[in-house]
Amino acid sequence: MNLTTPGASLPIRAVVAHQKKLAATNNIPKSLKLNQEMEKRRKIIVKSFSLARNIYNNSGNLRISGKESELEAGAEFLESNTVLSEQQEKRLKQMGATVRNGSSYMERMKLNEEREGLARKVMGKMSVDQLYDLSSFYHMMGKICSEVLENKLRDLVYEVGP
């Protein structure tokens, strides 16, 4: 019996259409096989992101197990503040990575570039003395920030404790 004939009931036609749809989705090509080194790096990056998620979810209450060197590749990626090249994006997509809120990230990067350009323009008009004072001020602020951050991290370590 041909189930797609005009006389077939609507539910039967719906089932047939659904089966065709499922069959079409099964024809998706498989993702690329990664060589051993790339797969190892992918796992390290995934582990780093997982660690970052745990830090975020647990508000800093964390005990790191494993070698720190295992996390370096992912940490470098997480710390980088540059836009990814097309090749890097392609590699991440091949490894199954996705970029959430990519458009807002791009807007932030564009805004940062504009701010940097404006700051360079303003500083270009400043005298040597003004630039020296500005540099000294930010150097001092950097030291203060480092000290306060170090104290807060030390306090967190004591709160978590052994």
Q: Domain count of the chain?
A: 1
- Spatial CB neighbours of 91, under 8 Å, sequence gap ≥ 6: 38
Asked whether residue 156 is domain-assigned, the answer is: yes
Judge whether 89 lies within some domain. Answer: no
Statement: residue 135 has pLDDT above 80: yes
Q: How far apart are CA 15 and CA 19, in angstroms?
A: 6
Residue 77 lies in a domain: no
HEC assignment per residue over 115-139: HHHHHHHHHHCCCHHHHHHHHHHHH
Range of the domain at 150: 127-162
Residue 137 lies inside a defined structural domain of this protein: yes
Residues 6+ apart with CB under 8 A from 66: 47
Is there a domain that residue 143 lies in? yes
Q: Is there a domain that residue 153 lies in?
A: yes
Across the range 153-157, mean pLDDT stands at 84
**Helices 72-79 and 36-57: angle between axes, nearest 10 degrees:** 60
pLDDT of residue 110: 86
Would you state the structure tokens that stand for residue 151, as one six-digit string?
A: 């104290």
Q: Is residue 159 part of a domain?
A: yes
Q: Residue 57 falls within a domain, yes or no? A: no
- 73-126 residue pLDDT tens: 555 655 555 666 677 776 766 666 666 556 676 777 889 899 999 999 999 999
